[in-house]
A and B are shown apart, each in its own frame.
Chain A
Amino acid sequence: MTKVYKLRFLVQSMSFAVLTYGGRLGLRLGHCLPCFTCPYVGSCSGHCYLMALQRSQWGFQISFAEAISVWGLRALGMFAGFFLLTIIFSKAWCGWICPFGTLQDWITFLRKKLGIRESQFSWTLRDRLKPIKYILLIFLIVIPILIGNAGLHSDFGLPFCQICPAKKLMPIFAGNFRYFAVDISNPITAFMSIVSLILTAFFFVGMFFKDRFFCLFCPLLALISLFEKFGFLGLEKKVDACTGCGNCQRVCPLNIREVHLEKKKKNVLTQDCILCLRCVESCPQAKVLSLKFFKNTIFSSSKDYISKRFIKKKRENLCN
């Protein structure tokens, strides 16, 4: 039996390498990938759709007149590409492919090695954070529209990219520290770059103490979750057989409670889920949680899997 977490680690590392360095080999995967493969990484092989979404030719920074011309069609085409990719892999983009997510997992791995505990959010705080990613999503759509139609200064262009911590952190892997510089060409750029520096520092520290800290606020996650119900992948729960042991809630990097608390509905793919499958891995009841592709079960929980995944045969292997 393949261990899912190992497979995931492998897939994540490979996608990280391909998406971050693939450009050097001439790989071009387009501009509408539903993950944080940052266009500012010089050697990247594909671009994050959020940039396209905010841009003038492919997204919302467009005047109403342009919107009904060929530009509008282009934007629509770009969206179609994003939509197609989203429904195929759904949230697996976040949990298995996104290089920025992978970076966060690596940092978490380091924290665990050091034996430092994860910080906890209270249930209320956790719930209050939920809408932030939608608010960011609205801003990153509204500001380009305002630039295109209401004469907002064009230095506000690509507003999310300007403050996104990935823009600062990911280029490091291509040896590029340029985006840490403060751009003082005008008050707007100076303000934006200072805000982004502060946010980057905040998220960098946050990522160390909290699993997938950035994902809690990620507007791309919010965008994907809007189309989740069209997705081919599903996370299903057999509610009658669930004993409520709470393992799924505890191991979830995004502290999702619904999988544990759900007592009626079959579908437990919630808006914050990144399909990392840790809940399925840690569920001790046979077939209570399962990952579905259309109607087919790809992976489901079992006692046997738990025994293989969590029981160490020798004592020496334990302390990692």
Chain B
Amino acid sequence: MQLNSAERNNSKAKLAQKIKKEIQEEYHRQASFLRERSDFCQELEYFLEIFSLPVSPQKVKKRFSRPFVGIYCIQAPLELFDALGFHPIRLCSGSLAIQRLSSPFLPALTCPLIKSCVGAFYLDESIEKLCDILVVPTTCDWNTKLPEMIQDKAIPFYIMELPHIKESERGQSRWLEEIYELKRFLEQCAGRRLNRSQLQISVNKYMKAWQAFGRLIEFRRRGLICGTWSIVLANAFMIDDVESWTDKVNIVLKNYDKPEGNSNPGVFLAGSPVFFPYLKISELIEEAGMDILADELCTSERLIASVIYDEPSEYGLLKALSERYHLSCSCPTYIDNDRRLKNILNTMRTYNIKGIVYHLLKGCHPYDLESFYFEKVIKENGFRFLKIETDYSREDRQNILARLEAFRATLC
């Protein structure tokens, strides 16, 4: 019997409803895992609440009054959106359940993060659909092809072409041009010109966030606040309003201000992004009895950098912004990225971290490619190296845990 189109749509809608419920459960489950941790304190509830937003877009609308700009990847300058009256949201996703919606249309080995991001467009309501503008910087191939993956949804993406060489004049000037072009585009959308002092105020707001984040990192290095919470807090920055995020982080840190922290062996977490509710890797590292004293994830420590300008002209400000989001970033999609490894080794030496866990999402090619060279150099420098390749599913927890436990033994 042939289903008529109404019936077909009806069954599709039912499936979408079912998956939506699964996604909500996934988020709630992860939040309650975090609540049950022994190092949970009431001040952290604020951040868990932030993560109830992706599954209930109506709440997002109520909470933030300004029009939304959705951003894929961390290269789009938040300060610029803020100055022109938009609320920027970084659209990452760590949801496994949502992949059911997108995986039929994507290659099997698609980066899980992209799979989940694409899935959001198949829901009847999502943060993605609330955004007036969606900005995509062309970092990795997955991101570059993202607009193509959702072609049938006819979503108008704004694409920023990222120069993959940073330390050359033409790379820097091309990116500055992109920033100027974005500015013009946003001015058109906002219907007003960029105000120089407004941009200065925005920069200052984000500098305050950077300052709070710097303290968070310092606490983490000393073992006062654990890696998982640090990552959750940083993740929340990607959604939340910057000023209230800064205030709440400062409040949380007051609570963790103790003279001494944990003394488990410390590890460095490098590699592919980790985003709520996909916290498997950090939770397992801690379960195996190690502390993540530092990371370089683009959803955590790489997220916030300082913007320093000494030219208050519009050009000076935009140049400062352009370099902050280009030169400061150590995404492996850059070609001249030799500083990243040096910085990692330096951090490990400074904080006496003996091993590095290299987290790799299956299909995340830039990190995968780098991992082999990293392994060689890191071992040559006398540190331990463990590469863990995985995805959002939970089935390999035991296998990963076994490896992490043995890894811990090698650190002692």
Please give the number of chain B residues whose Cβ is less than 8 angstroms from any Cβ of chain A in the complex: 38
Residue of B nearest to A286 (CB): B350
In the bound complex, what is the Cα–Cα distance between A251 and B307 (angstroms)? 12
What are the interface flags for A112-128 relative to B under an 8 Å C-beta threshold, 1 for contact and 0 otherwise?
10011110001100000
| Interface: A294 (CB within 8 A) | no
Which residues of chain A come closer than 8 Å to B222, judged between CB atoms? none
A118–B319 Cα distance when bound, in Å, is: 11
Interface contact B327-A246, CB-CB below 8 Å: yes
A112 & B311 in contact (Cβ 8 Å cutoff): yes
29 A-B pairs with C-beta separation under 8 A = A112-B310, A112-B311, A115-B314, A117-B311, A117-B313, A117-B315, A117-B316, A118-B313, A241-B342, A241-B343, A241-B350, A242-B343, A243-B328, A244-B330, A245-B323, A245-B324, A246-B323, A251-B310, A263-B338, A263-B339, A282-B308, A310-B306, A311-B207, A311-B208, A312-B204, A315-B201, A318-B200, A319-B197, A319-B312
CB of A236 to closest CB in B, whole Å: 15
C-alpha spacing A112/B245, complex, angstroms: 32
Q: Is B401 an interface residue (CB 8 A)?
A: no
Say yes or no: A243-B319 contact (C-beta < 8 A), given A251-B308, A284-B308, A319-B200.
Answer: no
Does the CB pair B319–A250 fall under 8 Å?
yes
Query: Quick one: given A112-B313, A278-B310, A318-B201, are A243 and B211 in contact (CB under 8 Å)?
Result: no
| B227-258 CB contacts (< 8 Å) to partner A | none
- Complex contact B214–A243 (CB within 8 A): no
B395 within 8 A of A: no
Residue A153, interface by CB 8 Å: no
Asked if B166 CB lies within 8 Å of chain A CBs, one says yes
B201, chain A: closest CB distance, angstroms: 6
**Interface 1/0s, chain B 176-205, versus A by CB < 8 A?**
000000000000000000001100110010
User: Is B45's beta carbon under 8 Å from chain A?
Assistant: no
| A282, B308: Cα distance in complex, Å | 7
Min C-beta distance of B37 to chain A, whole Å? 29
Rounded to whole angstroms, the CA-CA distance of A316 and B208 in the bound complex is: 16
Contact A240 B345 (CB under 8 A): yes
Q: Which chain B positions have C-beta within 8 A of A282? A: 308, 310
Known pairs A118-B316, A311-B208; A240 contacts B310 (CB<8 A): no
Cα distance, A243 to B330, chains bound together (Å): 8
Q: How far is the CB of A307 from chain B (nearest CB, A)?
A: 5
Q: Which residues of B are found within 8 Å of A116, using beta-carbon distances?
A: 313
Is B39 in the interface zone, CB < 8 Å from A? Answer: no
A174 to B311, CA, bound (A): 31
Of A245, A260, A320, most buried by chain B (CB within 10 Å of CB) is: A245
In contact, A311 and B204 (Cβ under 8 angstroms): yes
Residues 334-358 of B contacting A (Cβ, < 8 Å): 338-339, 342-343, 345-346, 350
Measured in the bound complex, the distance between the Cα atoms of B211 and A116 in whole Å is: 29
CB-defined contacts of B346 to chain A, threshold 8 Å: 238, 240-241
A244 and B308 form a contact (CB under 8 A): no
Q: Which residues of A contact B311 (CB under 8 A)?
A: 112, 117-118
Give the nearest-CB partner of B166 in chain A. Answer: A244
Query: Bound state CA distance, A239 and B342, in angstroms?
Result: 9
* A254 interface contact, C-beta 8 A: no
| A229 adjacent to chain B (CB < 8 Å) | no
A270 within 8 A of B: no
Whose C-beta in chain A lies nearest to the C-beta of B336?
A244
- From the candidates A112, A242, A284, name the one contacting B312 in the complex (CB within 8 A): A112
- A66-112 residues with Cβ-Cβ distance < 8 A to B are 112
The residue in chain A whose Cβ has the minimal distance to the Cβ of B342 is: A240
Known A-B contacts A117-B315, A122-B169, A311-B211; the reply to A245 vs B328 at CB < 8 A is yes
Q: How far is the CA of A260 from the CA of B336 in the complex (A)?
A: 14
CA of A239 to CA of B305, assembled, Å = 19
Q: Closest 10 interchain pairs by CB? A: A246-B327, A117-B315, A117-B313, A319-B197, A245-B328, A240-B346, A246-B323, A123-B169, A241-B346, A282-B308
Most buried by A among B169, B214, B311, B330: B311
- Closest chain B residue to A113 by CB distance? B312
Min CB gap A258→B, angstroms: 12
Contacts of B339 in A (CB 8 A): 242-244, 263
Tell me which of B169, B204, B207 has the highest count of chain A C-beta atoms within 10 A of its own C-beta.
B204
Residues of A within 8 A of B315 (CB): 117-118
Q: In the assembled complex, which residues on chain A have CB atoms less than 8 Å from the CB atom of B117?
A: none
Q: How far is the CA of A137 from the CA of B347 in the complex (A)?
A: 45
